[in-house]
Amino acid sequence: MTDSYAPSRETTEGRVYNLSGGDWDQVLAGHTVGEERLVLNMGPQHPSTHGVLRLVLELEGETVTDARVVIGYLHTGIEKNTEYRTWTQGVTFLTRADYLSPFFNETVYCLGVERLLGVEIPERAKLIRILMMEINRLSSHWVWLATGGMELGALTAMTNGFRARERCLDIFELVTGLRMNHAYVRPGGVAQDLPAGYDEKIRDWVKEMRQELHGLDKLLTGQTIWVNRLKDVGWIGVEGCIALGITGPILRAAGLPWDLRKTQPYLGYETFDFEVPTDDRGDSWSRYVVRVAEMWESLKIVEQVLDRLEPGPTMIDDPKIAWPAKLSLGPDGMGNSLEHVQHIMASSMESLIHHFKIVTEGFRVPPGQTYQAIESPRGELGAHVVSDGGTRPYRVHFREPSFINLQGTAAMSIGGMVADVIASVASIDPVMGGCDR
Amino acid sequence: MGTPPERPVPDDAAPDQSAAEIERSTVDSSRGAMEPDAARLARGAAGEAEATFGVERRGMFGPTGSGDTSGYSGLVRPPWTAPAAERPYGSYFDDVVDALAVAYPGTSEAITRVVVDRGELTLHVAREHLIGVMTALRNDESLRFELCSSVSGVDYLGTSQRLHAVYHLTSMTYRRRIRVEVAVTAEDPHVPSVTALYPTADWQEREAYDMFGIVFDGHPALTRILMPDDWDGFPQRKDYPLGGVPVQYKGATIPPPDERRYYK
């Protein structure tokens, strides 16, 4: 019994097969490699393309010679929809755009509306927004790690990442009543105050996150496969980033410490003590290093917010803008608080009328336009908000970092191996819900 | 998918129609009386028409013709016009405009209007000068707007140059932001592409084309990006027909969002 691919020989231990291979030099001798051009379609339904992203790759053997990105499979018309809802209802749509960073979407839109209104929100509302955004930054980066790890075959990174992210969602649920799609940040402040016992729970969460981050460090940072899959893969430099408009961790991993929380602060970020992590390799590994370092920094900000929180209003003191009801978490979910319902139904007709008017009619925003930008987990998230003076937005445009950053796919993948395309796209961390809106 | 959704017309539309006719005739008569003085004064000189952004709005409740029960049907709100700023503009805005005038010789005719509103500077630029202005803004040492943060479209339906391409530029060197705005008509929606200056504008211009039908001349591949390739029409234009929702009860239909009653 002989096998031409596995020659065998008899030994005292029995028959030994030799599976060395290595005859490719002979097989290919006399042939020129590189005439095999293959156009490969990846996606939109593909476990490694990070959602409904479609890549059309042109391959020469295993080398990528061209890469095109096709998007739009998750377009839901969020921007158009906001034009037919009140200013407050707009939040409900926009929170679903980039579903992994809902608080950032809500906040940047509300900052735009507040700029158009020319109002200043209470200090406590600002701090709560920062608190929720920084917790959200962790949850978003955990999902990036989990999905990115899964795409590279690191399944434990996936299970650990989603486990840690679930802890973040627990905090979201505690504060807003919902794990995702919160619509918690509203024009004028936030929907409701922090619940009783928030301080202890969030501090416990911070401890837990530090443990998870240490576990992550042990699991991945020194692991040969993880390092080799990421190092020198998907390189892009500072010039390339700026030309392509790429911001966020990718730009910082290329070496430019551009973080809007520091460079053009909003909501009082300039008063917080935190670092902007950077790295100088500009490859997928640097992005991993920068994102993990950012998670540590976000925990520092969360602790500082907890130290600073003073009792006070969480919604602007202007009944013509503020949502009239105090919301509270009842046994059947979030809704108007019992005291408020009693007040408007039993004791004050004027309050009932006011409630009805402001909820159904909404408020008017003076005409004009504004552009507000904040640092989301993926880079500069901008909201171009236009008002015509009515009760509904005239136009809301989101400058989505996922949308812009995906333009870098070709620059990162061409010339590399097809397997590295996965690592590159994972390191961009695109969220298609935000990209396609 | 191929054609834009048609508005469903309810079978018993006749009574509504007549109510709408009555409403429209009253509105028209009042507009005829208004037009000569107030509206024309608001517009000012002949060349100022392009500076108008909003349209005149009448009534307070719902689309015209649906029966305004608010009691404010005679209310008229003038079109919204962003006032041209006067010097000093304040903040870093004077420096930017001065430096641009030095860097780009045609600035005086390129910039049709400078608006400073809510602490943000907007330069309204004539489209034939867009590339020159953007090149100067990007390259000049005292301007250095390296990053084109965002390109978006806005449709000011009812004005003469209704389609606006809006560019938000960021100077990472000086940490400044400005807005450059170009207005074109829907009949001639051509704007030069800035992709050669800012490669990041590639997809963003495609999106503005996809949603508003603004044609960016010189773009390497101006195709739809979010909507399917064979889609008709430009969905985010304000006159794009919106679909109603048929409900399974005696042929009833939920009207499209812009025909429902709402507060203006």
Per-residue model confidence as pLDDT tens digits over A315-350: 888 888 888 777 777 777 677 788 888 888 888 888
Number of neighbouring beta carbons within 10 Å of residue A214: 10
A156 touches chain B (CB under 8 A): no
In a domain, B123, yes or no: yes
Listed residue (B151, B124, B131) closest to B212, CA to CA: B151
Compute the distance between CA of residue A296 and CA of residue A354 in angstroms, rounded to an integer: 45
Q: How far apart are CA B243 and CA B63, in angstroms?
A: 16
Residue A311 β-bridge partners: none
Based on the domain organization, do B151 and B67 belong to the same domain? no
**Residue A30 predicted with pLDDT over 80:** no
Answer whether residue A376 shows pLDDT above 50.
yes
Give A291's Cβ-side CA count (13 Å radius): 32
Contact A78, A104 (CB under 8 A): no
Q: Are residues B208 and B119 in the same domain?
A: yes
Mutant choice from A114, A404, A405 vs B, greatest count of B C-beta within 10 A? A404
- Only one residue has tokens 């006159």, namely B239
| Contacts of the segment A88-94: beta carbons below 8 A, 24+ positions apart | A88/A186, A88/A187, A88/A323, A88/A362, A88/A363, A89/A362, A90/A393, A90/A396, A91/A183, A91/A185, A91/A186, A91/A187, A92/A181, A92/A183, A94/A396, A94/A398
CB contact under 8 A, A388 and B80: yes
Indicate if B211 and B169 belong to the same structural domain.
yes
Look at residue B48 in the predicted model and tell me its pLDDT: 43
Cβ A72–B257 below 8 Å, yes or no?
no
CA count, 13 A, side-chain hemisphere, B206: 21
Number of domains in chain B: 2
Interface contact flag, B226 A75, Cβ < 8 Å: yes
- Of residues B170, B200, B264, nearest to A390 (C-beta): B264
Q: B32 and B114: one domain?
A: no
Q: What phi and psi, each to the nearest 5 degrees, are found at residue A46?
A: -150, 135
Taking CB atoms and an 8 Å limit, are A72 and B198 in contact across chains?
no
> A305 Cβ partners below 8 Å, 6+ apart?
A127, A130, A131, A134, A272
Tell me if B127 is assigned to some domain.
Answer: yes
Using DSSP bridges, classify how beta strands A8-11 and A14-17 pair: parallel, antiparallel or unpaired: antiparallel
Which pTM value belongs to this model? 0.84
Q: How far does the CA of residue A76 sit from the closest CA of chain B (Å)?
A: 9
Secondary structure element (H or E) that encloses residue A285, with its range: helix A284-308
Write down which residue in B176, B199, B217 finishes a domain. Answer: B217
Closest C-alpha among B112, B92, B172, B91 to residue B138: B172
Helix H, strand E, coil C: the string for A352-369 is: HHHHHHHHHCCCCCCCEE
Nearest-by-Cβ selection for A243 from B122, B199, B236: B199
The alpha carbon of residue A415 and the mean position of all alpha carbons in its chain are separated, in whole angstroms, by 28
The H or E element that residue A328 is part of is: strand A327-330
For residue B97, what are its two tokens?
A: 């405009």
What is the DSSP-derived secondary structure letter of residue B80? P
pLDDT at B16: 41
Same domain, B207 and B178: yes
Is A390 an interface residue toward B (CB < 8 Å)? yes
* Domain co-membership, B136 together with B212: yes
Interface of A with B in 322-381 (CB under 8 A): 360-362, 367-371, 373, 380
Write phi, then psi, for A163 (nearest 5 degrees): -65, -45
**Local structure of A174: helix, strand or coil:** helix
The tens digit of pLDDT for each residue in A95-108 reads: 999 999 999 999 99
Is residue B150 one of the residues assigned to a domain?
A: yes
Please name every residue paired with A185 in a beta bridge, in sequence order, or none if there are none: A190
Listed as own residue / partner, the contacts of B213-219 with beta carbons closer than 8 Å and 24 or more positions apart are B213/B163, B213/B186, B213/B189, B213/B237, B214/B153, B214/B163, B214/B165, B214/B184, B214/B189, B215/B189, B215/B190, B215/B191, B216/B165, B216/B191, B216/B192, B217/B190, B217/B191, B217/B192, B217/B193, B218/B192, B218/B193, B219/B193, B219/B195
Task: Report pLDDT for A19.
Answer: 64
Residues B213 and B98 occupy one common structural domain: yes
Encode chain B (264 residues) as per-residue pLDDT tens digits. Answer: 444 445 444 344 333 433 334 333 333 333 333 333 333 333 333 344 456 788 888 777 776 665 666 677 778 888 888 888 888 888 888 888 889 888 888 888 888 889 998 889 999 999 999 999 999 999 988 889 999 999 999 998 888 888 999 999 999 999 999 999 999 999 999 999 999 999 999 999 999 999 999 999 999 989 999 999 888 889 999 888 888 777 878 888 888 887 777 777
Alpha-carbon distance of A385 to A395, in angstroms, equals: 6
Q: Flag whether residue A403 sits within 8 Å of chain B, measured between CB atoms.
A: yes
Neighbours of B186 (CB within 10 A): 16
> Is residue B66 assigned to a domain?
yes
Does residue B69 belong to any structural domain of this protein? yes
Among the partner-chain residues A75, A264, A384, the one whose CB lies closest to the CB of B175 is A264
A234 touches chain B (CB under 8 A): no
Question: Which CATH number is B110's domain given?
Answer: 3.30.460.80
* Integer Cα distance of A134 and A175 in angstroms: 14
CA dist., res. A79 & res. A383, Å (int): 11
Which pLDDT belongs to residue A340?
84
pLDDT at B49: 46
More confident residue, B76 or A242: A242
A256 Ramachandran zone, left/alpha/beta (phi>0; psi -120 to 50):
beta
Answer yes or no: do B100 and B48 share one domain: no
Predicted local distance difference test score (pLDDT) of residue B131: 92
Interface of B with A in 31-90 (CB under 8 A): 53-55, 57, 77, 80, 82
Q: For chains A and B, what is the number of CB pairs under 8 angstroms?
A: 120
Which candidate from A247, A361, A407 shows the least CB-CB separation from B263?
A361
Query: Do B144 and B211 share a domain, yes or no?
Result: yes
Contact between chains at B225 and A388 (C-beta distance less than 8 A): no
Three-state DSSP class for A162?
Answer: helix
Please report how many Cα atoms fall inside a 13 Å half-sphere around the Cα of residue A7, on the Cβ side.
4
Assess whether B137 and B212 both reside in one domain.
yes
**Measured between CB atoms, does B175 come within 8 Å of chain A?**
yes
The residue range of the domain holding B143 is 93-217
In a domain, B86, yes or no: no
Check whether residue B70 and residue B175 sit in a common domain: no
Which of helix, strand or coil describes residue A302?
Answer: helix
Q: Among all residues of chain B, which has the CA nearest to that of A434?
A: B226
Residue B163's DSSP bridge partners are: B155, B184
B145 lies in some domain: yes
Lookup result for tokens 């979010």:
B226
- Residue A204 is which amino acid? D
Tell me which chain B residue has its CA closest to the CA of residue A262: B175
Q: Which residue in B147, B150, B263 is closest to A384 by CB distance?
A: B150
Q: What is the pLDDT of residues A148-160, one digit of tens each?
A: 888 888 888 899 9
Q: Is the peptide bond before A44 cis (omega within 30 degrees of 0)?
A: yes
* Residues B61 and B121 reside in one and the same domain: no
* pLDDT tens-digit readout, A176-222: 888 888 889 999 989 888 888 899 999 999 999 999 999 988 888 88
**Quick check: is B209 in a domain?**
yes
Q: Do the Cβ atoms of B261 and B62 come closer than 8 Å?
A: yes
Residue A110 CA to chain centroid, in angstroms? 18
Using an 8 Å CB-CB cutoff, list chain B residues near A84. 242, 257-258, 262
Q: Do A362 and B120 lie within an 8 Å CB cutoff?
A: no
CA distances from A330 to A162, A196, A213, A410, A419 (A): 28, 14, 34, 50, 50
